[in-house]
């Protein structure tokens, strides 16, 4: 299954792949070279399919759990001052996604979307300390009766050039459901209330829609 954000790119890639293979077949007579070049084109196409895959996830919905919004590796767990929405100290948990990870963004908790804002910005590498406040990003806050207001932020990286955010103010967020997509490498930050129990460790690999990041 592929994400709808990839349909157009996949179709274009199929057309370009066919053209490339036919052109290679026509103009390159050396058999091993022709096969090698065609293999490179096919490999590139497989990488594109890999990037836009959208596997089904078995989310166990629980109002006392914050689940991972994305696949990736935990690169930050620390108390920081969050300047945009809370304007106070929060626990930040950041998850870095490589181009090989699933890039679907899922709602980390159920509730009501109370804030959703896009910010244009730079394209620093996603693990840069200033990426959270200086890169192109979207900030979404879901209000939940158990946790209160939970913020997650989609951040573009050096390669990612487009953030897709489906969350609109007053929408009903359902834990684990599709909330957006980030194309080609990026990161997502979660900001949680001080005192929240963090269930993951630095460098841990997590699965979006299933891994429990934090709990009350």
Q: State the pLDDT at residue 25.
A: 87
Residue 160: band (very low, low, confident or very high) from pLDDT cuts 50, 70, 90: low
Catalytic position from the list 38, 94, 186, 215: 186
Note if 215 is an active site residue.
Answer: no
**CB-based contacts of 48, cutoff 8 Å, min separation 6:** 6, 9, 10, 13
d(CA 37, CA 49): 19
Mean pLDDT of the chain: 89
Contacts of 111 (CB under 8 A, 6+ apart): 142, 143, 144, 145, 150, 172, 173
State residue 17's pLDDT score.
92
Q: Residue 138's beta-bridge partner residues?
A: 118, 154
Distance (Å, rounded) from C-alpha 215 to C-alpha 138? 24
Q: Write out the H or E segment, with its range, that includes residue 36.
A: helix 31-51
Q: What is the mean pLDDT of residues 133-141?
A: 86
At residue 2 the predicted structure's pLDDT band, cuts being 50, 70 and 90, is: confident
> Would the pLDDT of 84 be above 90?
yes
Give the confidence band of 185 by pLDDT, cuts at 50, 70, 90: low
Question: What confidence score (pLDDT) does residue 120 get?
Answer: 86
């Amino acid at each position: 299954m592929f994400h709808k954000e990839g349909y157009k790119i996949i179709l274009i890639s199929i057309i370009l792949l066919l053209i490339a293979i036919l052109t290679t077949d026509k103009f390159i007579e050396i058999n091993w070279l022709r096969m090698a070049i065609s293999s490179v084109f096919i490999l590139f196409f497989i990488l594109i399919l890999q990037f836009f895959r959208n596997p089904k996830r078995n989310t166990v919905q629980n109002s006392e759990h914050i689940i991972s919004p994305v696949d990736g590796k935990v690169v930050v767990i620390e108390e920081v001052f969050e300047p945009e929405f809370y304007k106070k100290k929060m626990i930040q948990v950041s998850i870095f996604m490589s181009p090989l990870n699933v890039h679907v963004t899922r709602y980390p908790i159920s509730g009501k979307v109370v804030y959703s804002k896009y910010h244009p910005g730079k394209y620093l590498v996603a693990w840069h300390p200033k990426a959270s406040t200086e890169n192109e990003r979207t900030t979404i806050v879901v209000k939940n009766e158990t946790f209160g207001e939970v913020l997650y932020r989609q951040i573009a990286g050096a390669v990612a050039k487009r953030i897709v955010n489906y969350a609109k103010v007053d929408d009903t967020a359902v834990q684990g459901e599709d909330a957006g997509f980030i194309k080609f490498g990026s990161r997502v930050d979660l900001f949680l209330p001080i005192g929240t129990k963090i269930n993951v460790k630095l460098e841990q690999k997590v699965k979006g829609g299933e891994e429990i990041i934090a709990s009350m």
